[in-house]
Each structure stands twice: as structure tokens, then as C-alpha cells.
Amino acid sequence: MKQNSIFYIAIGVIIGFSVAVFTLMESPDIQTTEASSSSEDVYPKFRNQDPQTVSYTLIAQDAEIEVAPGVISTVWTYNGTVPGPTLRFTEGDDVTVKFVNETPYAHTIHFHGTHDSANDGVFPQIMPGEEYTYNFVAKESGLFMYHCHAFPTSEHVRMGMFGGMIIDPAIRPMEPAREYFFALSEFDPNNALEYFTEYYMINGYANQYMDNPIQVVKGELTRFYVAGIGGVLQSPFHVHSTIMKVWPSGILWNEPYFAQTHLIGNGDTAIIEATWDEPGKYLFHVHGIQEERGSMAIIEVLEDDSSLLDVQTPSNNKGSHSMIEWQEDLIKSLEQPQLISYDNLGVSAVIDAVKVSTDQVSIVKDSWNPDIVESYVPLAIQVNLGTTVAWTNDDFVAHTVTDTEYSFDSGFIQAGNDWSYTFEKSGEWDYFCTLHPWMKGTVSVI
Ligand SMILES: [Cu+2]
């Protein structure tokens, strides 16, 4: 109880401080100062004269894919591949993403960049069989990532639920270039939460550009959109035989700088430009142990673009050529996804367990793991009317105790904490964890 009070006081202080800061930020004086800054060096914010309405559908689907030659793994995907589709629109566009969860676990889409809570992809968690529509106006131009933010988030990201979002500038377009997208991720076929993983891939399939080099043209500007999905290791991104111009954090308001290797943190991105003057084969890779575990790649510099005309597509950046469709086709042809479908998603399993007379329930260690059948122990209890039942979280991640009809909801019970509820009505109360909806329990009140 005392811990709770301190917690609420701390939250109160934080909210108070946030409101104060927010009020300051909203101050018209400060806004005027920002808006009147006419320096040519300030990247123009949000002045799309012709905003478009853009819609996507992303479906959470489990799939068996090939992740390296001969290695088949079960992964969690958006639309069947790892990474998910690259979304692309322009600063100021009104973007709608319909999300459908066709898997047995809760998932979400968390977008990096600016938006409100309902579109942040944390609250609510999207349950098996459910749909949710995200909507936001693209506020910043650059490269942002999206990924699942169900819990434990590292597991959902490691399992394959991530992708890139290119937001092109409304004015001041980028120089014409040939464009590629790379997601740098970690994967272990045996344990999604392994600290050091067996593979460190570029775009979901180990070493895919060794046999299928990316192709650029000598003297022509090349642009890489690079997302550091990561997990444990950071991604020092390195190209051979030239230096790179880098927009740090993939945000086009930043000043670019020049680099031989650019460190991309987990959850961060970079936009990188480079040119090769001499035809030939060159390497690019994550600099470190990752290069021996799936992230080595070849750039083939061609004399001219004649062999690329069939595979390049027009880019949103005027005069640029996008190779991203070619990349997505390559990913599909290598991964060969076999989608896994499930019956009766979201239908509660009938709990057929012996009822135990107790007012204490443990949320057991590792109960976040869907393979644990009994997450709430005992999973069926019987109490008399008016009894206060206490749930203790003995796991190491947060859980909830939520009535399937929402008459009670614990909110997040952090690891080691407990929560109690007094039953004032008789009946059968089925409950579950909103973060891990496969966790189910029941209380019979007599
Ligand atoms: Cu997920």
C-alpha cells in the first residue's frame, strides 16, 4: 500500500511537470519564434500544399519462412514477410493503417514519429481476431520504423514484426537518386529472446545480397534508407570504397554529415547517400560480428542503367528510381512464406478445471509464454460472496487481471506487485490478461 502511494505521488509529480512543460511548449510566443525563423537552414516543417489520403492494410500473420539457405523458421509477420511492407507517403499526408490480427497472440503497430495515444500502438493491445484502425498525419519527413509493441516487445520484434516508413519531404525534395531500403535485425531460430542470436540479417534473410547484389550505376547518387531494428547489438553500418553522407536518425531536419561507418542504434534509422565512381563489386555490411552472421552484402556498380530499367520503379522523390519493389519481390522469393491460419480466434477456451477454494492467485513465472498452460495458479478458484481475492505477479513482466466482460480490470500489475478485488456479486467470472490474452482464469463466487 505504501509503495502504491509513493508510486502515485511520483506519477502526480511527473504529470504536473509534463503539463507545465507542455504549456510552455504551447506558448504562442515560443511558437512565433519558431515559425518566424526564416533561415534557409531550418528544414521546413509540415507545409504540404496538396496533402493526400493514404491507406494501408497490415495483417498480423504467423508464417513459416526460410531465413537462411535451408533454414525454415516460424515467424510473426506483417503481411507474411520479414520485414513487413515499406510504407511510403509524404509529409502532411493523412495516413490510415487498418490492422487485422489473424494470430493467436495480441499484437499492435507502434509507429515512430509524432501522433496521439490512440495511434501509438500500445493502448489498446489488439487481440486475436480483432481489427483496429490507426490514423495520423505524417508530421516529420525522413525514415521511421514501425513495429509491434505487444509484450514482451523484444520478442515480438525479434520474431519479425517490423518494417520501414519513408516519409518524403513536401518541399525541398531530395536529390534524384537510386533508392534502397534495409532493415537490420536479429533472429535466432531456437529462442527469440536469446541474448546473442544466430543471425543478424539485412531484410529478414541472411546474406541475401551476396547472391543477389544490389545494383547501382557508376557516378549516380545512391540512397539507402536504413533501419536499426536491433535488439541487443547496435548496428555500425559501413560501405566500402567511398564515404557516406548521413542524415542522423533518418530525420531530414538534421544536418547531414560525412561518415566511413555510421552507428545506428536500436530503434533508430539513418538516410545515407553515396556514389561509386568505378564499376566493380564492393561490400556493405554491419561492422562487427554481425557481418559473419548474415549482414554481409554486395553492391555491384554498373557502367550504365540499361539492365535496371525493368526493375526500377518511380520514386516519390522526383527524378529518383526506387528499387524497393524489386527488394520486396526478392524477399518474397527467398523467404517463400507459408502462412499459418487458425480457427476460432478470440473465442475463449472453456476452462474445465477443478475449482480450488482460495483467495490467493499467483501469476506464475514465465506466464507470458503462450506454452505455459496454467498462467494463473490456481486457474479456477471458488470463493464466498464478499471475498477479496488477491493476485500476485510472480512473473518478471507486467500482467493484468481483466474480466472478459470488463466489469473489473487491474490495469498493469508490475512484476512483484499484487492487486486485489472484492467480489460483491455471485456468478462465474472469466478473466484474462490484456497483454497476453492466452492467459485465462476463472473465479466462481457462491
Ligand atoms: Cu506482436
C-beta of residue 298 within 8 angstroms of C-beta of residue 180: no
DSSP code of residue 276: -
Average pLDDT of the residues of the chain:
88
Q: How many helices (H) and strands (E) does the chain have?
A: 5, 31
Give 366 or 362, the one with higher predicted confidence: 362
Q: What is the spatial distance between Cα 150 and Cα 152, in angstroms, rounded to a whole number?
A: 6
- C-alpha of residue 103 to centroid of ligand 1, in Å: 9
Residue 61 Cα, ligand 1 centroid: separation in angstroms? 10
402: helix, strand or coil: strand
For ligand 1, the distance from its centroid to the CA atom of residue 80, given in whole angstroms, is 13
Distance 313 CA to ligand 1 centre (A): 31
- Gap from CA of 60 to ligand 1 centroid (Å): 8
Lowest mean pLDDT among 11-20, 257-266, 295-304, 332-341: 11-20
Distance 370 CA to ligand 1 centre (A): 13
Residues 24-79: tens digit of each pLDDT: 333 333 232 333 344 454 555 667 889 999 999 999 999 999 999 999 999 999 99
Cell numbers that stand for 367 in this block: 506466464
H-type alpha helices, 247-367? 324-335
274 C-alpha vs ligand 1 centroid, how far in Å?
35
pLDDT value at residue 178? 98
Closest CA relative to residue 202, chosen from 378, 325, 354, 83: 83
Distance 58 CA to ligand 1 centre (A): 12
| pLDDT of 13 higher than 50 | no
